[in-house]
Amino acid sequence: MRLVTLTLIVLLGLLILIILFPVLFLNATASTIPEPYYQQAGEVLAGMSMITGRPAAAVEVYDMIISLHPELADLYLKKSDSLLAIGDIPAAIISLDDAIIRDPKNPVILIKKARLLISIGEINESDLILQHIIGIQTNNPEYLSNIADITLERALYPEALEKYTQLLTLQPNDGLTWEKRSDVIFALLTIPTAGFGATSALKARDLYSEGIQGYERAMGLSPDRIDIIRAKIEKRSEEYTPATIDELQARYQQYRYLQPGENPLPFP
């Protein structure tokens, strides 16, 4: 029993030393741990440093791993997160730039940089990045999902509908994508300016039916969101919600007057 207890104490002490001094441990084991296990061990130790509130140690670990794998964009992204935990936003942006050089069409990295630029007041540069993200063409579902979300956030509803539709061809059983697509559809049918940029074919489509059917499909695929989606459906009455953008615009032109007797504001 004493031997077992002593062994456990030694192992616990060793574990604490590894956590407190991850760089020393990695240096000491560099010649004994084969790749890719060495990289994985480093990322685990960096993660533990973050969990234990020591982001500076995590940065040191990522610097060490990056020196061995400078081509991996994901390492720079994780290093950026550690720098943010320290509060060093300029250094975090530089690390994201290093990641972008290695993966220039990764919207996850680009979005993170855009958000950081907003936080330091660089709105124009952030807008340029967000517009660049929207223009990226990809069949990677993870990437496309982020691009579609940014398109929706920018209130580019026709483009968002197109991107969520494309995403559904890649992952037709994703309930959240069906729900988001229907959200976009009803944004098109309830916001007068949503028709801007819509083609004549899109304006004439029965979007109402598409939207309701999308919500119904989403409920079948996402049982945990049934109540939320059902509430969205209940807000859309056939009597008050137009079926097409053309109908929406006709109502808008009929009822929106500046003064009695004036012409309605025209739609583009």
DSSP string, the chain: -HHHHHHHHHHHHHHHHHHH-HHHHHHHHTTTSPTTHHHHHHHHHHHHHHHTT-HHHHHHHHHHHHHH-TT-HHHHHHHHHHHHHHT-HHHHHHHHHHHHHH-TT-HHHHHHHHHHHHHTT-HHHHHHHHHHHHT-----HHHHHHHHHHHHHTT-HHHHHHHHHHHHHH-TT-HHHHHHHHHHHHHHHH-GGGGTT--HHHHHS-HHHHHHHHHHHHHHH-GGGHHHHHHHHHT--TTTS-SSHHHHHHHHHHH--SSTTSPPPPP-
pLDDT number for residue 2: 67
Length of the chain: 268
**Contact by Cβ (8 Å): 168, 174:** yes
Q: What is the pLDDT of residues 117-132, one digit of tens each?
A: 999 999 999 999 999 9
pLDDT number for residue 68: 86
- The set of residues, in sequence order, having a beta carbon less than 8 Å from that of 158 and lying 6+ positions away, is 188, 197, 198, 199, 202
Q: Is 88 left (phi over 0), alpha (psi -120 to 50) or beta?
A: beta
Please list the ranges in the chain whose pLDDT falls under 70.
Answer: 1-21, 23-25, 28, 30-31, 254-268
Vertex 98, ends 96 and 99: CA angle to 5°? 60
Both tokens of 268, joined, read 């583009």
pLDDT number for residue 52: 84
Q: What is the pLDDT of residues 198-228, one digit of tens each?
A: 899 999 999 999 999 999 999 999 999 999 9
pLDDT number for residue 145: 95
pLDDT number for residue 46: 82
CA dihedral 45, 49, 51, 55 (to 10 degrees): -140
Would you tell me how many other CB atoms lie within 10 Å of the CB of residue 25? Answer: 19
- Assigned architecture for domain 18-27+36-136: Alpha Horseshoe (1.25)
Residue type, 86: I
Stated pTM of the model: 0.78
* Domain ranges in the chain with CATH number 1.25.40.10: 18-27+36-136
